[in-house]
Amino acid sequence: MSNRLRRILAPIILLAFLFGLWELIVRIVGVPGYILPPPSRIVVTFFAQFGFLWSHAIVTLAEITFGLLLGSAGGLLLAAAIVYVPLIEWAVHPLIIASQMIPVFAIAPLLIVWLGYGLWPRVVVAALICFFPVAINGVDGLRATSSETLELFRSLGASRWQIFTKLRFPGSLPALFSGWKIAATLAVVGATIGEWIGASRGLGFLMLESNARLRIALVFAAILMLTLVGLLLFGIVRIIERLVLRWRRPASE
């Protein structure tokens, strides 16, 4: 068996084993379905309710996407400001790190007070959570430029803007994409938290509501859907990364 095939199969086999164990224990012990349904029932529910789940997933996907875009743009801008303006670095850098100690849960209810019950509070929660890995990786990436290359640009008479667009920004992309991949997974968490605090649609809302009604199979089906949405988003970021960083591949082989 090729190494590649083995690597694809390994997690699938582990997952199948764990689900098999779960199924077996639930059936042998006779756990009631409203406490822990067997995986088979979750899968059946997932497909039976697919249209319903999807109608909620679209809302969550929109929140995640807007949150990711907003958080990435904010993170990138702040990273550039930190790298270019020393005063901003001294003033803002420690505060950003400190801000990460505040749980997003604590801010989310306030956002609903400020922004109402629309899509926006959830988008902002997702953006707040995405922003950090993008900003931190952006700062590292923008600083990764070697001093020799910088001197080459200066000897060619490059302006600050040219140094940014032709040297620092393209050079920061590998680090930025690492940040974006983390942000894509965190955005899912952010949007779900946002929906828990206050929403009338979306997978997070559905989980909470189904939980209250003891429709546990539906809770798990929603979790499954959320996982798939998150993987889809992560996959899209990976594909964009591969296209943009085409030049990297020969070196990594």
Partner 1 sequence: MAASGPILEVDGLAVSFPAKGHRTEVLEDLSLALDRGTWTTCLGPSGCGKTTLLRAIAGLIEPDRGSIRVDAEFAGLSQIAYLPQQDTLLPWRTALRNAILGSEIERRPRADAIRQAQGLFERFGLASAMDQYPSQLSGGMRQRVAVIRTYLTHREILLLDEPLGALDPLTRTDLQQWLLDVWGELGKTVLLVTHDVEEALLLSDSVLIMTPRPARISRIIEPELPRPRSRTASDFIDQKETILGLLTGGKP
Q: Which residues bind partner 1 (CB under 8 A)?
A: 146, 148-149, 151-158, 162, 166-167, 170-171, 173, 245-248, 250-251
For residues 210 and 233, what is the distance between their CA atoms, to the nearest angstrom? 25
What distance in Å separates the CA atoms of residue 206 and residue 129, rounded to the nearest whole number?
Answer: 22
CB of 151 to partner 1, least distance (A): 5
Q: Which is nearer to partner 1, 3 or 252 (CB)?
A: 252
Nearer to partner 1, 162 or 211 (CB): 162
Q: Which is nearer to partner 1, 149 or 211 (CB)?
A: 149
Give me the least distance between CB of 240 and partner 1, in Å please: 15
**Closest distance of CB 156 from partner 1, Å:** 5
The token pair that represents 157 in the structure block: 């008479």
What is the maximum alpha-carbon separation in the chain? 76
Between 149 and 227, CB nearer to partner 1:
149
Q: Which is nearer to partner 1, 93 or 248 (CB)?
A: 248
Nearer to partner 1, 55 or 146 (CB): 146
Shortest separation between residue 246's beta carbon and partner 1, angstroms: 8
User: What Cα–Cα distance (Å) separates residue 120 from each residue in 76, 107, 123, 231?
Assistant: 21, 14, 5, 23
Residue 139 C-beta: closest distance to partner 1, Å: 19
Distance from C-alpha of 46 to C-alpha of 41, rounded to nearest angstrom: 8
